[in-house]
Amino acid sequence: MRRIAQSTYDHYIKALGQYNLAVAEYQAASDAVDPSLIAKWKLMDTRPTQDSKGVWTSVDELKRDQMPTQTQILQQLHDSEMEEDITSLKKAAKLKNHSHGLAHFINAGLQLQQNQKDLRARIKGAPSNQDAKEHRQIHSAQLKLLRDITHWRTLQSRRFPAFAESDSLSAEAVDSDLDPQNEILGLPSDFEDEEERLELGLDSAVDIECQLRQGQAYDALEELRGKIRLERNMIDQKKVHARGTGANTRAETSIRSVTSAKQRAAQNYIDARQAMIVLGSRQRDKAFHSKLPDLDKNKDLWMKDPSKVLVLGDGTRQEPWIWHIGLQIHGESSENSMLEEDRVRWFKSRALMQRWREEIHMREADFKRIQRSYLRMVSAWNSIAHTVTSSTSDLSLLARRAYSLKMADYYGQRLDEAVKLGLEATTSKLANETNLSTPT
């Protein structure tokens, strides 16, 4: 009996905290989608419906026919690779045939640095017994990268003559002709010492690289989210379609490839963020950690599966911050499978927010019910005590009266505790900072 009011208080405070987290998740899901789509979704009926085949569906479930098949996923990967190749060729041609401003020059350097990372990953992933064809392809990629770096060095010597005359990178650049993927380019973020950057004349490019690195970090987050979605979809497809050792082996190979791409995207974000720290963004921007939080590759690379029904405990399990920060808006022109996942995510996050809002209202009502219950018990025991006059000499009646007054006093104390805890809960700092009327 003593714990009822205290338990209600604890549940009320917990509900406030979970509601605020659910609001943040709902707002993040809303920010990732064009407002016109949200307006359409709000008009949808949230009640479950039964189709002609007797299958029940709701807005909280993915439409299975829109989930990407293995063929569609393969086509997506192919299109993505082709797009990357075309983009790389365009940037290379642009670098050779046009004069650029400082921003374009630094951006070209960042692209070269990314090409170096991609080549290192390719070499690392190559089998130890690689055939002659693979060896020639890697060697050709090294030669192309070397030519691009050489051309970029020419532009670098014109823009930063002090750097060109310096021997700062001479030790690191040894054997760079044979190993271009490991050559240090000499971007501002390659130098942690601010005075050294100033001596080399790179200080004028610090702010530009910071801005480009921020965009690079957000691009890496978007790519990371895409790889997480793709990995989860491929795992789901494997469970449904893969039968037999051969099919499972092929599916596992594809999944491992996507998992590696996911890890590379995560590392790209970490590298971009670290470069910004080296350039002093953390000292200049007090909100740096809220804009670009630290990424834990062991804990943050997952998402809730929108194809699964929520089970006990899912309401308190929040998705990693990568689904709340740096979101890029998806509109009508986005892929159907992506929009379908966004829709389910939005409805589930809204339902979760409304569920915790309802929990808060229920706990507030519980406080009132507990107080009314205690008040009735006080009244009941007092009425029993009043049936016996204090002037009676019957010991059994006097005992009944004493016990009734004792119980009335007990429930009176419980009533005072319930009123006190209810007042503390509803007037707490967390309650005052929580807005239950918005969002809708």
Q: Given a cut of 60, is residue 79 above it in pLDDT?
A: yes
Mean pLDDT for the stretch of residues 62-82: 50
d(CA 255, CA 429): 47
The highest-confidence range among 19-28, 78-87, 355-364, by mean pLDDT, is 355-364
pLDDT single digits (tens) 133-180: 888 888 899 999 999 999 999 999 999 988 877 765 544 444 444 589
What Rg do the C-alpha atoms of the chain give, in angstroms?
32
Q: How high does pLDDT run on average in the chain?
A: 83
Q: Given a cut of 80, is residue 308 above it in pLDDT?
A: no
* Cα–Cα distance list, 68 to 72, 232, 328 (Å): 6, 11, 21
pLDDT single digits (tens) 205-217: 998 999 899 889 9
Q: Residue 434: helix, strand or coil by DSSP?
A: coil
Residue 174 pLDDT:
40
Residue 112 pLDDT:
94
Residue 75 pLDDT:
58
Least confident of 211-215, 305-309, 392-396: 305-309
Contacts of 420 (CB under 8 A, 6+ apart): none
Contacts of 349 (CB under 8 A, 6+ apart): 22, 25, 26, 28, 29
Residue 247 pLDDT:
82
Report which residue type is found at 326.
G
Supply φ then ψ for residue 320, to 5 degrees: -60, 165
- In the chain, what are the helix, strand and coil shares in percent, each to the nearest 5? 70, 0, 30
Mean pLDDT for the stretch of residues 16-33: 88
Provide the 10 A C-beta neighbour count for residue 417: 18
Report which residue type is found at 228.
I
Q: Residue 331: helix, strand or coil by DSSP?
A: coil
d(CA 32, CA 35): 9
Q: Regarding predicted confidence, which is higher, 323 or 97?
A: 323
d(CA 146, CA 152): 10
Residues 110, 214 contacting (CB under 8 angstroms): no
Least confident of 63-67, 205-209, 286-290: 63-67
Q: Regarding predicted confidence, which is higher, 323 or 256?
A: 256
Residue 392 pLDDT:
76
Supply φ then ψ for residue 397, to 5 degrees: -70, -40
d(CA 138, CA 117): 13
